[in-house]
Amino acid sequence: MDTHKTLYSILDLALVSEGHTLKQTYENALQLAQSAEAAGYTRYWLAEHHNAPNIGSSATSILIGYVAQGTTTITIGSGGIMLPNHSPLIIAEQFGTLATLYPNRIDLGLGRAPGTDRETAEAIRSDFMSAAHAFPTMLGQIQQYFKADNATSKVRATVAEGVEVPIYILGSSTDSAHLAAKKGLPYAFASHFATTHLWDALAIYREEFKPSEALTKPYTIVGCNVIIADTDEEAERLSTSLIKMIVGIFTGKRDYVQPPTAMTNEFRDILQNPQIHQMLKYSFIGSKATVKAQIKDFLDKTKADELIAVNNIYGIKDRIKSYQLFAEIMQELN
């Protein structure tokens, strides 16, 4: 009998809905995390993005602190910090401080992408491209800063030394799979939008994995979009906000999350666009019964240790309800 339980978590971008202030957005993020804690979610991660009016999580570590302060047991972390944007020393200091304030509750997920457009990446860091190539080196530096024996080094992140902060490697291509395997770190794949390389990346990571102090065997977290409501029709209506958001990404017209509208033939046609269809391949939209069958199939195929769900629903009540229904599905499948 298989006793393996698949954990379930949330990836949030603190999306700003039309007509909402940033302060409301942050309060909604906290409300979502509190609801997730009550529903048995393992972790709540915030993603670093820049120069996007509809994403409020640009100062990621500050928002992690705010959410951690308002919760008690759920793990709060980054999904991820885009490391080439930062100095490894500063990130070690920030997350060492967070983990001292909230012991055993802070994760550090690290990614290689800029989380923004080229011009903004260069405004953040003029040598971004060389920093991106140095990602494995920067990862090693962060790991060193967290070690207790770094106390003898000339350069120290004193607030991080000996502090327990699990590190996760995030990826949307196969590059990161090789690195996570080589370092023996847990691996989270962004299949909620980067669907093309999911299977190759998981295979590479599992085949090349080398045990480490952090991990004795591979650990995979797989992303998916989840929009669940009482009926398939209501879930489809809620998903129109996501469709509008994706169209905005492809047309370069990023905007606040729009209120949902009726699912029309025009929206159905948009979903059949090859690029959009591919991007939303692992999006599970419908009633609890509909989505449960889709999730079961996805878990059977990926053999993921954990699912991390994204939901781009306009209203906080609908967003929380969707995540509560997803938690019920995961509990029933386990």
Neighbour tally for 165: CB within 10 Å: 20
* Cβ pair 52, 85 in contact under 8 A: no
The 3 state secondary structure assigned to 60-119 is HHHHHHHHHHCCCCCEEEEEEEEHHHCCHHHHHHHHHHHHHHCCCCEEEEEECCCCCCHH
The helix/strand/coil state of 152 is: helix
The DSSP element (H or E) to which 223 belongs, if any, is strand 220-229
Amino acid at 205: Y
Assign 321 to helix, strand or coil. helix
Q: Is 281 helix (H, G, I), strand (E, B) or coil?
A: coil
Which residue numbers in the chain have pLDDT < 70? 1-3
Pairing between β-strand 7-12 and β-strand 283-287 as defined by DSSP bridges = unpaired
Strand partners, 221: 188, 306
- Distance (Å) of CA 253 to CA 115, 246, 256: 17, 10, 10
**Rounded Cα–Cα distance for residues 214 and 180 (Å):** 11
Task: Say if CB 287 and CB 230 are below 8 A apart.
Answer: yes
> Is there a contact between 44 and 329 (Cβ–Cβ < 8 Å)?
no
- Read off the tokens for 271: 């979903």
Q: Which tokens is 120 given?
A: 């903004």
pLDDT of residue 3: 57
Burial group, residue 262, by CB count within 10 angstroms (0-12, 13-18, 19+)? exposed
Question: What is the predicted pLDDT for the residue at 1?
Answer: 36
Q: What angle do CA 7, 38, 325 make, to 5 degrees?
A: 65
Q: Give the pLDDT of residue 54.
A: 94
Q: CATH number of the domain at 7-333, please? A: 3.20.20.30
Torsion of CA 251, 256, 257, 258, to 10 degrees: -80
Residue 313, token pair as written in the block: 């629903």
pTM over 0.95: yes
Give, in degrees to the nearest 5, the angle at Cα 257 between 256 and 258. Answer: 105
Task: Indicate the domain borders of the chain.
Answer: 7-333
**Which token pair is 304?**
């993921």
Task: Report the alpha-carbon distance of residue 194 to residue 12 in Å, rounded.
Answer: 16
Alpha helices per DSSP H over the chain: 22-38, 60-69, 88-101, 118-124, 128-133, 135-146, 175-183, 198-208, 232-251, 265-272, 274-279, 288-302, 316-333
